[in-house]
């Protein structure tokens, strides 16, 4: 049995995720400790991620700890992981997905439809901005940064009438009671990888790649591989108003994507396809095909 160090951000949700992996490894007889870190993404809260370097700001410090040998593995929310990892790093596994949907949280209103005209809705996701505009073009969308607890505090202080968060984070922290409405993917298509946890290691750690493989969920990995392939083919980052979500129906993986203009009132560009998927290469091909359809329909 081995002793391992997990690098993690220090937000309450990130620590929950790291503790979850820690418990699974301890069940297998390993010793595990956590290395808590504050990333640039946690420090810069006055500007949107799209303007300061993207979601990679949440993982760079953790990757440095892996590179320097201070940690053996890093646990991430997969939607925060760049589509292409730096040389020398690899995803060892993608774990079974929690609820991938978006959720509306509000102290006053039970649904998006109940919000009065001109209500203030908080989100800093360009994807959510364009999807919210398609559903309620009359509401006012304002930036909202910070970890989950910070966002909820800002809502409770009255700065917003409602905010939109990932349902998975609320559920993992036992905050399901804060959810007023869960958006079905047909209403608000999730972000690529939303709700899934990924474990990153140095690519030369064959021991860890083998050790962590049993923690992976094969179908979740195939689904998110297709979603991330859409983003990768579109040059995706958090500065792109792009959604991609895949679900299995039998052996067929159904993949839907949506892209919107962040400014103006142009309609959303949508694409959908399905294919029998058995490996990561087939999943990536499905995603690349969806991206081609988006571009053909006017997405850029």
Residue of 42, 46, 72, 80 marked active site: 80
Q: What is the pLDDT of residues 125-151, one digit of tens each?
A: 999 999 999 999 999 999 998 889 999
- Closest to 90 measured CA to CA, from 222, 206, 237: 206
Quick count: other Cβ atoms within 10 Å of Cβ 50? 17
List C-alpha distances in Å: 30 to 4, 5, 65, 159, 204.
Answer: 7, 11, 20, 45, 20
The reported pLDDT for the residue numbered 227 is: 97
Name the band, by pLDDT with cuts 50, 70 and 90, for residue 59.
confident
pLDDT at 78 over 80: yes
Mean of the per-residue pLDDT values of the chain: 92
The alpha helices in the chain, defined as continuous H runs, are 12-27, 40-43, 49-52, 60-67, 126-135, 148-156, 167-172, 206-212, 218-233, 280-296
The reported pLDDT for the residue numbered 46 is: 46
> What is this structure's pTM?
0.91
Q: Tokens 């949907």 map to which residue?
A: 101
The reported pLDDT for the residue numbered 44 is: 45
Distance separating alpha carbons of residues 272 and 290, to the nearest angstrom = 7
Distance separating alpha carbons of residues 287 and 255, to the nearest angstrom = 8
pLDDT at 39 over 80: no
Adjacent-strand bridge partners of 164: 104
Residue 217 annotated as catalytic: no
Distance separating alpha carbons of residues 258 and 243, to the nearest angstrom = 5
- Greater model confidence, 45 or 117: 117
Name the band, by pLDDT with cuts 50, 70 and 90, for residue 41.
very low
Rounded to 5 degrees, what angle do the CA atoms 187, 193, 197 make? 130
pLDDT at 93 over 60: yes
pLDDT at 97 over 90: yes
Name the band, by pLDDT with cuts 50, 70 and 90, for residue 266.
confident
3-state secondary structure of 74: strand
User: Please, what are the domains in the chain?
Assistant: 1-96+196-216 (3.40.190.10), 102-182 (3.40.190.10), 217-300 (3.30.160.40)
Distance separating alpha carbons of residues 56 and 139, to the nearest angstrom = 30
The reported pLDDT for the residue numbered 262 is: 82
The alpha helices in 45-124, defined as continuous H runs, are 49-52, 60-67
pLDDT at 237 over 70: no
The reported pLDDT for the residue numbered 94 is: 98
Q: Tokens 């159904």 map to which residue?
A: 254
**Average pLDDT estimate for 34-51:** 60
Adjacency order of strands within the sheet including 242-249: 242-249, 252-259, 269-276
Strands 269-276 and 140-142, how do they pair? Answer: unpaired
Q: What are the backbone dihedrals phi and psi of residue 228, each rounded to the nearest 5 degrees, phi first?
A: -70, -25
Low-confidence winner among 52-61, 150-159, 209-218 (lowest mean pLDDT): 52-61
């Amino acid at each position: 049995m081995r002793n391992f160090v997990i690098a993690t951000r220090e937000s309450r949700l990130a620590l929950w995720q790291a503790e979850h992996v820690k418990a699974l490894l301890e069940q297998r007889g390993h010793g595990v400790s956590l290395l808590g870190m504050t990333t640039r993404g946690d420090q810069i809260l006055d500007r949107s991620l799209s303007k300061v370097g993207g979601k990679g700001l949440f993982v760079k410090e953790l990757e440095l700890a892996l590179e320097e040998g201070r940690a053996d593995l890093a646990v991430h929310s997969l939607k925060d992981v760049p589509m292409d990892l730096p040389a020398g790093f690899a995803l060892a596994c993608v774990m079974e997905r929690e609820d991938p949907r978006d959720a509306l949280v509000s102290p006053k209103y039970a649904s998006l439809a109940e919000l009065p005209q001109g209500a203030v809705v908080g989100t800093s996701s360009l994807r959510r901005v364009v999807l919210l505009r398609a559903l309620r073009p009359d509401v006012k969308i304002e930036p909202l940064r910070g970890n989950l607890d910070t966002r909820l505090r800002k809502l409770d202080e009255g700065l917003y009438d409602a905010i939109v968060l990932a349902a998975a984070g609320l559920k993992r922290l036992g905050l399901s009671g804060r959810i007023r409405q869960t958006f079905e993917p047909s209403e608000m298509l999730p972000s690529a990888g939303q709700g899934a946890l990924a474990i990153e290691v140095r690519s030369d750690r064959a021991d860890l790649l083998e050790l962590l493989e049993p923690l992976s969920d094969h179908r979740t990995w195939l689904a998110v591989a297709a979603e991330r392939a859409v983003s990768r083919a579109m040059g995706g980052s958090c500065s792109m108003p792009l959604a991609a979500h895949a679900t299995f129906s039998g052996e067929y993986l159904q993949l839907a994507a949506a892209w919107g203009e962040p400014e103006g009132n142009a309609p959303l560009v949508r694409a959908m396809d399905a294919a029998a998927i058995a490996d990561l290469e087939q999943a990536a091909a499905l995603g690349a095909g969806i991206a081609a359809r988006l571009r053909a329909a006017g997405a850029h």
